[in-house]
Structure 1
Amino acid sequence: MHKIFNILSITLLLLFSLTSNAQDKKAKELLDQVTSKIKSYNNIAIDFKYTLNNSKENINKESKGNLLLEGNKYVLNFMGVTKIYDGKKSYTIVPEDEEITVSSLNDKDENAITPSKMLTFFNSGYKYYWDIPQDLKGRKIQYIKLVPNNPKDQRKEILLGIDSQTKNIYNVIEIGKNGTKTTLTVNSFKTNQPLSKNQFTFVASKYPNYYINKID
């Protein structure tokens, strides 16, 4: 009887392992589809909502923003600040302080965090697992759970919601080890929009009274 129990236990563990590996493979395939879809667009225009919650600290904040992205160039408007990257330099415009910070950015730097990488951040540095599906506003959203490989990462896990039909990202939920939960939800996702040649060009004459701080 003891021998039969051991065999049954091993069989169940093996079955669970095979199921888990199959789901992980399924998760990888879906993430690859998302990456391929993102790279297929000429440009992307996103309107999003960002929320930050921590019940222990009684923190509940909500902000809205938008992002226009073409290759490694972008214009990001968030929390009253505009950030423009023209492919060589980054311009951070803060109307409240009437200040503009100009800095160089090497987009090929693996440690550089840019909006273009934010859409495919999941390709390295994480273990991924097939998670639950949800029906949200008539859309089937499949979640992939990402667990950071770095034990020093302050994020416990990340839930990446993917629209099963379009293969576009619907939301990103980050759960911190300190109980903080941040959610970025895509309200509008448009692609291949007609853009002007100067769409990502910083024009200093638009800010005549601003102090320009050149870091490098």
Structure 2
Amino acid sequence: MKSKIHEYRNDKKKSFSKSFFLITTALLLFSFSIQAQENKAKDLLNEVSAIVKGYKNIVIDFKYSLNNTKENIKQDSKGNVTMMGNQYVLNFMGATKIYDGKKSYTIVPEDEEVTISTVNEKDDSAITPSKMLTFFNSGYRCTIDKLEDVKGRKIQYVKLTPNNTKDKRKEILLGIDVQTKHIYNLIETDKKGTKTTLTVNSFKTNQPLSKNQFTFVASKYPNYYINKID
């Protein structure tokens, strides 16, 4: 009788050891898989950054959509932006924003007003079009997500999760064209369920630009109210 009990206990120990080994192995493989996915995502994002930085200038036409089904809110807009280094001209929602590298000029024809302010480039909270192409370099945990076929183009999505728990954004999906390594779209979902999507309709590079492309010319707005913030 004692022999059978001893044998039963040994079998139970072996079974436990085997189960523990299998669970541990599975967890390790899962951990390695996640790490591999993160490394793959980082490598892809590094490629995107390197390619973007290699262009003399970039001209983008885009579509912007905001959607919140709970609040029954849906808004679509189109815009375009021309960038060279940290300078840019953005046309969006009926307004034009010019940044010459030092000051920002927001021109609103509807109000006949120009707002002038100084931008601190070292301020991480200052969102500029140029940063939109490289913002993902820090502050996020990134993993490879779905791969989609969009009109014959392979779009690889990278899921970005903010490291800061106080961030109002839940996640960001960054769609990247596998062939060109250009950003195709950006889908941002906040913690309240609002989803905003920016889709690139046209991505042109190294275009011939005017010498005054990023210069604000006050004489063009003689009757506008000039609002100098600083």
The letter of the residue matching 1:209 is N
Match of 1:125 among 139, 143, 153: 139
Shift of 1:106: 2.3
Which has the higher Rg, Structure 1 or Structure 2?
A: 2
The letter of the residue matching 1:84 is I
Matched, 1:33 2:37: no
The residue that corresponds to 1:214 in the other structure is 228
Take 2:126 and 2:62, find their aligned partners in 1: how far apart are those partners? 22
Q: Secondary structure at the match of 1:30?
A: helix
Q: Secondary structure at the match of 1:115?
A: coil
Shift of 1:189: 0.2
Match of 2:95 among 52, 70, 81: 81
Query: What's the % identity of the aligned pairs?
Result: 71
Take 1:188 and 1:61, find their aligned partners in 2: how far apart are those partners? 21
Q: Number of aligned residue pairs: give it.
A: 216
Shift of 1:2: 1.6
The residue that corresponds to 2:31 in the other structure is 17
Take 2:169 and 2:123, find their aligned partners in 1: how far apart are those partners? 22
Q: Which runs of 5+ in 2 are unaligned?
A: 1-14
Q: Secondary structure at the match of 1:31?
A: helix
Take 1:20 and 1:189, find their aligned partners in 2: how far apart are those partners? 32
Take 1:48 and 1:69, find their aligned partners in 2: how far apart are those partners? 14
Take 2:104 and 2:64, find their aligned partners in 1: how far apart are those partners? 23
Matched, 1:58 2:72: yes
TM-score by length of 1: 0.98
The residue that corresponds to 2:218 in the other structure is 204
- Aligned CA RMSD, in angstroms, stands at 0.8
The letter of the residue matching 2:193 is G
The letter of the residue matching 2:188 is E
Take 2:90 and 2:219, find their aligned partners in 1: how far apart are those partners? 20
Q: Which runs of 5+ in 1 are unaligned?
A: none
Encode CA deviations 1:40-63: one digit per residue, 9 max, x unaligned: 000000000000000000001100
Matched, 1:99 2:113: yes
The residue that corresponds to 2:195 in the other structure is 181
The residue that corresponds to 2:22 in the other structure is 8
The letter of the residue matching 1:153 is D
Take 1:206 and 1:138, find their aligned partners in 2: how far apart are those partners? 44
Q: Which moved more, 1:106-115 or 1:26-35?
A: 106-115
Take 1:97 and 1:11, find their aligned partners in 2: how far apart are those partners? 65
Shift of 1:108: 3.2
Shift of 1:167: 0.3
TM-score by length of 2: 0.92
Take 2:101 and 2:27, find their aligned partners in 1: how far apart are those partners? 51
